Amino acid sequence: MPNDVAQLVNEYIETTSEQAKQQNLIINELSAWVQQQPQTNLLKVIQDARLALTSESIPTRASANRLLAELVAVLVESQSLSKHQLNLLVEFFLEKLADGPPILVQALAALRSLSKSDAFQAEHAIKSCQALFQHVTIRELEQPKRLSVLMLLDSLLAYHRDALKSMGPRFLSGYCSLVEGEKDPRNLVVAFKLAKVILIEFDLGDQAESLFDITFCYFPITFRPPPGNPDAYGGITAEELTQGLIDCLSATPQFGILVLPLLLEKFQAPGVAPKTQVLETLIKAFPTYGQAAVAEFVSLFWESFLVEPRIFTTSRAWVPNFILDRVPLRGPIFPQWPARLHETSSRGCHERVTFTRKV
């Protein structure tokens, strides 16, 4: 096999992405051989690919980095990498984050694989985030490459959350700058999940408003798949995006004073869809925000509900139960809500809403 390694490496680099089947066969053969003696055989592959890894040709460099990233994924899965090898590979691929989009995407894939290794330590996670924030301008990348950035962050959050927490505001400000302005629904689904974890588990400090700014800007969700083509964006639905956004907005009490005035404004705007999303957000968020944050706005919301009786006939069936039974607002949040209700509602409006509930 050693005599054939250079040939296999060159064959892989010379093939194109349209020849995926041939590339997979080469990867399988090289992977099986490298795993026999990972410490020496991986070095042999790198040596045979060194000219391609440093080539002035971008397609050639991209192919060589893809080959190495594919091998890394196999070696991580089989737990065959030593700590020394992992250190060298992390440093190598972190440098590649600044090497342009075609190479960047291969580096992201490799780092994501490496982040799952037992040998990948807190210092590697911190260095990875610092390199991302320094070298990657995500808005200049195409959608699949932006998704690769988010998936690396997802892996770092999943396996090395404490390390990222230790970065404090450096991580939060870097994250905000990195993901700000994302528009593709396939990426937003992932971004909302990342944001939810950060908002719940991190000490937001003075970064709460920045996180709010990059999150609330999507409210309300207006995305609809193209008519007749529900799979155009990977099958992402408006409901999936809406729930992801609501999960973020209801994740931390620090959002209460920021979100509630704008939700009230959105509810008073024309159209039924925004009002429905406001109601769904309030249901989820009121218990998180707590009595102190909500008390200032409760009468204003109730007055707005009363002058919009149509929302109770066009919204989902369970929305009226929230308004009339006050399930999420009972007890510790609003123990005196019934008094507030009768103070702020007129007999006529209350009768209309009650009638809708019976139907």
Nearest to 112, CA basis, from 124, 123, 100: 124
Instruction: State whether residue 38 is helix, strand or coil.
Output: helix
Specify the pLDDT at position 312: 56
Specify the pLDDT at position 310: 63
Give the mean pLDDT of 45-61: 95
At 167-192, the pLDDT tens digits run: 999 999 999 999 999 999 999 999 99
Give the mean pLDDT of 151-171: 98
What's the maximum distance between 2 C-alpha atoms anywhere in the chain? 90
Question: Which amino acid would we find at residue 216?
Answer: F
d(Cα 147, Cα 190) in Å, to the nearest integer? 8
Whether 316 has a pLDDT exceeding 70, the answer reads no
CA distances from 295 to 81, 303, 336, 337, 338 (A): 56, 14, 11, 10, 14
Q: What mean pLDDT is reported for the chain?
A: 86
d(Cα 295, Cα 334) in Å, to the nearest integer? 8
Whether 293 has a pLDDT exceeding 80, the answer reads yes
Determine the length of the chain: 359
Asked which of 22-26, 161-165, 245-249, 250-254 is least confident by mean pLDDT, the reply is: 22-26
Specify the pLDDT at position 271: 77
Q: Higher-confidence residue: 348 or 45?
A: 45
Q: Where on the phi/psi map is residue 100: left (φ > 0), alpha (ψ -120 to 50), or beta?
A: left
Question: Which amino acid would we find at residue 187?
Answer: N
Whether 58 has a pLDDT exceeding 90, the answer reads yes
Specify the pLDDT at position 55: 95
What are the residue ranges spanned by the domains of the chain? 179-250, 252-359
Question: Which amino acid would we find at residue 74?
Answer: V
CA distances from 64 to 34, 57, 103 (A): 16, 11, 9
Q: Please tell me the pTM assigned to this model.
A: 0.86
- The pair of structure tokens assigned to 160 is 């090395």
At 65-103, the pLDDT tens digits run: 999 999 999 999 999 999 999 999 999 999 999 998 999
d(Cα 269, Cα 266) in Å, to the nearest integer? 5
- The pair of structure tokens assigned to 113 is 């694989």
Contact 223, 238 (CB under 8 A): yes
Q: Higher-confidence residue: 100 or 156?
A: 156
